[in-house]
Amino acid sequence: MIAAAAIAAGILPQARLQRAPNKKRIGCYLAEDVFFAIRLSEAKVHQLAVEYSQWRWQEEGVKTGIFYAERKLKLFLLYLARGRYYHQHARAEGLSLTATATYLSHIAAFFADTATQYVYV
């Protein structure tokens, strides 16, 4: 207790811990090629991710990185391609059901907004 009080008072030096660098965490890894299920090439998914990042910045003022934009897009496309079950995709990605639902709604809004721009009346 005396040592804690001395550290709080600034008499004894505190040991500073080094902060670990940020890591891109991946919930799981599948050997199966995702592009067989979604039928889009990796270049097209990357292009969609860039467009999604730009759209999100314009609409919501949120800057989304390409890594996370691609992850969200792949999640949405797999959700559509494989039976639309939240729990399968959420657990495979290591996400909660709420995060999965949020990601899917953001991507669905992106596709809906993009589709309405090209509708001619």
Angstrom distance (rounded) from CA 74 to CA 97:
16
Name every residue whose Cβ is closer than 8 Å to that of residue 83 and which is 6 or more positions away in sequence: none
pLDDT of residue 118: 73
pLDDT of residue 79: 84
Q: Consecutive 10-residue runs of the chain (121 residues): their mean pLDDT?
A: 60 61 65 78 92 93 90 87 72 77 91 82 58
pLDDT of residue 77: 87
pLDDT of residue 91: 67
Over its C-alpha atoms, the chain yields an Rg (Å, rounded) of: 21
pLDDT of residue 17: 63
Give the type of residue at 11: I
CB-side neighbour CA atoms (13 Å) of 69: 20
